[in-house]
Structures are given as structure tokens and as C-alpha cells.
Amino acid sequence: MTEAPHLLVREDGPILIATLNRPDKLNAVTGEMMVLFEQALHRFRDSPELKVMLIRATGRYFCSGVDLKSSDGGRPPTSGSAIRENHRLRVHGVHRIYDEMEAIEKPIVVAHHAMCVGGGLELSLSCDFRLAARSAGYAFPEGLFGVLPASNGVSRLTRLCGPHWARWLIMANRKVDADRALTMGLVHEVFPDDSFEDEVMAFCRHLAQQNAEQMGTAKLAIELAADVGRAAARDVERLANSSLMQSPDCLAGVARYVAGIGRKQETSA
């Protein structure tokens, strides 16, 4: 009996939907899953008609982390330097994939309907928007093995939520529910379980209607601003806007906005 694909990919208008599809294995990450995911990511990147990528999952877990029973093949590393290189270059190619997710000038949304841990959470940290159902939860179980989440878990989590909450998840090895994740800044919004799918799709359709050039420029500018001082961050703003403000889209948008204000003023007079 042939096993179902570890990742399902389909298009819904301008939205590319990639669904983790190993519900019987709690959507544990495999090499096959990441190969299919990278292909979907490139399809999203290279297709102008696709405006938003949505990552979701089937089953009672969003993702239980990396499948420890699977591997990329070859002998496991036995020295510190080999382990570090294994994290950087192998482990299903996740570092390369996460870098590409962060570089693509289109929004990537992840929707957590249930528990999201380990490698699934690390993948989610490279998304632009994280949405949670009330029943979602988060954890890094690596502490149970005496190691760190070393492929985004420390670096990206600390950047997003700060060292305060990174200590809570990593050092204290505590799980957090969706509401606590919202407080931490780990997720952007929490929705009721019964309306979650509709809310997620409504948000993705909203993103798809935004100006694509502004969206891509904002993604780059926000990341740059997080890395530099205040003065340099203001320069990033000015450089970005000097290009955007000359675009036909901007000029037409300003004209529509001004005309709309004029009509409102005439109506209220």
C-alpha cells in the first residue's frame, strides 16, 4: 500500500495552500515532507499570480517535530564540528529553506489548529504571520533530551519574543497555550476553533488584495530595521519609500484617497 504524500499542495485563487499530511504520525517532519515543501515554496516564489502562501496541517497535531525514526541517510555526526555542519547543511535542508522563506517578498502565513512543537515550531518562526486556533499549543521538547532547538528555535524565537520568553520555552521547557502565545508575541491572533478555517482564509484573502510591491518592500525593510540602530532604520524607511512613492500604484492611490476625502467633505457640508 502506497503511503499518502507527506505534503499536499493546492491553489485557491491567489493563495497557495501547503498542508502537512502525516496525521497518523502527528505530522512529524521527514525528508520527503521538506523536499515537497521546498518545491511548493519555489512554486509560490516563481508564480506571479500567487500572492500568499498558507501552511496548515491535518489531524490532531499541527506538527510533533522532526521524525526521529527518519533521517537524511548516512552516518550520524560524532564530533561537535560535524554536528554543527549537519545542522547547517543537512537536517532535511531546513536552514536553506528557512532562509528562502524569509527572503521571498511575499507573505507566508501559518495556521496552527492544534499542538505545534519542535521542528514544526521552528518552521513556523520563519513565516510572516502565525495564526492560532484556541486549541493550539506550543513547546520545544528538545530540553527533554538535554539539547537546544538549533534550527531557528533559539535564534528566531529570541528575535520575535525576546530572551524573557525564550527562557520560558527553552530553559524552563514549559508548554504554552494559544492565549499565552499571543501575549508572548509568538502568534498574531487567536481565533475560536469553530471559525478558525474561515478566519484564516479571510485573512489570506485580505493579504492577497494588498499592494504587492508595498508588501515585499515592507518585508525587507522591517527585517533590516530590526538589525540596525534607530538612525539607520530611518534611512531604510526613506530609501524604501523613495522608490514606492514614485510608482503609478502609489500616485493613483493617493489620488483616489484625496478624491474620497473631497466627496466626504462635500456630503457633510
Residue with cell 502609489: 250
CB-neighbour burial class of residue 196 (10 A; exposed 0-12, middle 13-18, buried 19+): buried
Q: What is the CA radius of gyration of the chain?
A: 21
- Is pLDDT above 60 for 40? yes
pLDDT of residue 73: 45
Q: pLDDT confidence of 252, banded at 50, 70, 90?
A: confident
Predicted TM-score (pTM) of this structure: 0.89
Residue 13 has pLDDT above 80, yes or no: yes
Give the count of beta carbons closer than 10 Å to the beta carbon of residue 127: 19
Q: How high is the pLDDT of residue 36? A: 97
pLDDT tens digits along 231-249: 999 999 998 888 888 888 7
Task: Please give the helix or strand (H or E) that residue 69 lies within, else none.
Answer: none
Region 196-209: what's the mean pLDDT? 98
DSSP assignment letter at 175:
-
Q: What's the Cα-to-Cα distance from 41 to each of 47, 49, 53, 157, 250, rounded to whole Å?
A: 10, 14, 8, 22, 29
The CATH number of domain 7-208, selected from 1.20.1250.20, 2.40.30.10, 3.30.365.10, 3.90.226.10: 3.90.226.10
138-142 long-range CB contacts below 8 Å, 24 or more apart? 138/112, 138/169, 138/175, 138/176, 138/181, 138/186, 139/115, 139/169, 139/173, 139/174, 139/175, 139/176, 140/169, 140/170, 140/173, 141/65, 141/117, 141/173, 142/118, 142/170
Say whether pLDDT at 4 is over 70. Answer: yes
Q: Where are the domains of the chain?
A: 7-208, 212-268
Residue 68, pLDDT above cutoff 80: no
**Could you read off the pLDDT of 125-183 as tens digits, one per residue?**
999 999 999 999 999 998 888 988 988 889 999 999 999 999 999 999 999 999 999 99
